Amino acid sequence: MKKGTITQRFLRDERGVFAVIFGILAIVLVAFGGAAVDFVNVQNARSMAQSSLDSTVLSLQPTIYTQTEQEILALAEPILMERLSAINVTAVLDTISVDQNEGALFLEARLTVPLPFLGLVGISEMSTRVASQATRKQLFLEVGMVLDNSGSMNWSSRMTNLKTAASNATEILFEGQDTSTTTKIGIVPFTSFVNIGANNAAAPWIDVDGNSSIASDNFDDDDDESTPFFGPVDRLALYNQINNAQWGGCVDARPNFETSGPDAHLDTDDTAPDINDPDTLFVPSFAPDTPDSWATWQSDYESDTASPTCPPLIGASDRERQERLCKYDGNINTSSWGPNFDCPSAAVLPLSDQKADVLEAIDDMDAGGATNIHMGAIWGFRVVSPTEPFSEGRPYDPDTMKVLIIMTDGENTMYSTNNMNGASYYSPYGFPYNERIGAVGWNNTQLRTEMNNRTVESCNNAKAANIVVYTIGLDPPNATTQNMLEDCASSLAQAYFPELPSELDDVFADIANQLSALRLAQ
């Protein structure tokens, strides 16, 4: 046999090529055949990771009120990895978002899943993402409805629509129950003043001894304005000397000293009343009788000299005639407001878990008087806080959501005049003459601006205590008032401005439904 012939035959022989080709193709076929297995493993890992992340977010949602985002991430990653320890997956939490107002915690994780089959062709792992958000109503809900009872609420059935809206919101929040174990609602009607309840006359937080620095404002016992008078004046005792009038339940604003320190702005904060610090107590409102010569329906209700204990004055000034303590004895002219000037008939309902009590308090409201949104806001704050004068609220804690809903159809109102008091009527701050707000000579705009500032300051103090503030301005009279209400609210989304009274029902329902929401999203 020729050598060349054997060599040529070997070179022409193709029987071994199939094995080589099969060996190469086998790797590819196994890799791509196993890709289906890898894909199933990825889906299983993603499903398990999603379930683990959901439970992690739910367990950590209450911490959004006490922990920073970085602290929550530090807590979340070990929990997630422990729950994923049964599978060979690497997870990194790299996105977090917290919304305390909505009670929302959002987490997103990047997963790395090994691919054993596709690894044969160089694709060793796959990355995917899972996200979860828990938005949960806090266990306890306390809502203070601060509702305008001023005279303009009589227009265009505004009060009727407000009562319907507030009542329907109450039904939503009580979730069909007559008594709730988790929800309380308080009602704060306001005009110029807020009626905190005449039944509280003997409460330890009422200044019954007249020791507050404002108790003696507009009173004097010697008919001589040149001699300072510092009291004390027990205003409830003055009411008791009048035969045909009794204290209606309204109190003055606490002092605002325009200085620093814990007692600087007592009319915009929730400093607890302390009998050892009389300015922290609440002084019963007593609008003084103005001189007979003024003869205005708003303020002249008692004769300067009619009482046997109040002899005539010769050559007395209007100031001396106004401040005479001896006048308040016997009967007064009941055709005027009297000392209870602009005190609303509907009193505050402290936080209650009884739906019937809330609905009754709403139904008892009646429109009449001026508008002081500041007084409504600060008393709403005091109603939902856990401290006196109303202590029905739970402590500030992550398990309790406290909310104010402040509704008005007007603007802060005080009318300046050129008389000795500087204003046409008594207010919770007294008169500008008393320098508890402005001074004699301030015009309407200046007085209103200061009231707006104190309204926003009260809202800010409430928000600093983690109270969520909603505001509702029904057809607001001007941009200044709308801006003030926006500044008061916890966010722009929580400031509502319906144009028609009939729209109040939808607004209150929207807020109530937000507060009742419980969901797991994404």
Q: What is the pLDDT of residues 393-416, one digit of tens each?
A: 999 998 899 999 999 999 999 999
Regarding predicted confidence, which is higher, 405 or 37?
A: 405
Cα separation, 140 vs 386, in Å, equals: 13
What are the CB-based long-range contacts (under 8 Å, 24+) for 259-265? Answer: 265/454, 265/457
**Residues paired with 143 in a beta bridge:** 185, 403
Instruction: Give the helix/strand (H/E) hosting 145.
Output: strand 140-148
Residue 194 has phi, psi (to 5 degrees) of -120, 130
Instruction: Give the helix/strand (H/E) hosting 236.
Output: helix 235-241
Q: What is the pLDDT of residues 303-320, one digit of tens each?
A: 877 667 788 888 889 999
**Residues paired with 95 in a beta bridge:** 108
**Does residue 391 have a pLDDT over 90?**
yes
Cα separation, 287 vs 426, in Å, equals: 6
- Judge residue 292's burial from the number of C-beta atoms within 10 Å of its C-beta, 0-12 exposed, 13-18 middle, 19 or more buried: middle
Q: What is the pLDDT of residues 232-274, one digit of tens each?
A: 999 999 999 999 999 999 999 999 876 656 667 899 999 999 9
Residue 519: partners with Cβ closer than 8 Å, 6 or more residues away: 135, 136
CB 129 within 8 A of CB 109: yes
In the 3-class helix/strand/coil scheme, how is 334-381 assigned residue by residue? CCCCHHHCCCCCCCCEEEECEHHHHHHHHHCCCCCCCCCHHHHHHHHH
How much is the pLDDT for 399?
85
What are the structural domains of the chain? 3-135 (no CATH), 140-202+255-282+343-521 (3.40.50.410)
The string of DSSP letters for 9-57 reads: HHHH--TTHHHHHHHHHHHHHHHHHHHHHHHHHHHHHHHHHHHHHHHHH
Residue 157 has phi, psi (to 5 degrees) of 60, 30
Name the nearest CA neighbour of 459 among 489, 439, 431. Answer: 489
Residue 40: partners with Cβ closer than 8 Å, 6 or more residues away: none
Distances 39 to 36, 53, 76, 88 between C-alpha atoms, Å: 5, 21, 27, 14
How much is the pLDDT for 33?
55
- C-alpha dihedral (235, 236, 242, 243), degrees to nearest 10: 170
Beta strands in 345-503 (DSSP E): 349-352, 400-408, 467-473, 495-496
Instruction: Give the helix/strand (H/E) hosting 450.
Output: helix 444-464
Cα separation, 331 vs 106, in Å, equals: 66
- Count CA within 13 A, CB hemisphere, residue 411: 21
**pLDDT class for 112, splitting at 50, 70, 90?**
confident
How much is the pLDDT for 518?
40
Range in 42-56, 433-447, 471-485 the model is least confident about: 42-56
**pLDDT class for 522, splitting at 50, 70, 90?**
very low
Distances 300 to 10, 295, 431, 465 between C-alpha atoms, Å: 132, 5, 15, 42
Work out the end-to-end distance of the chain between its first and last CA atoms, rounded to an integer number of angstroms: 81
**Does residue 18 have a pLDDT over 70?**
no
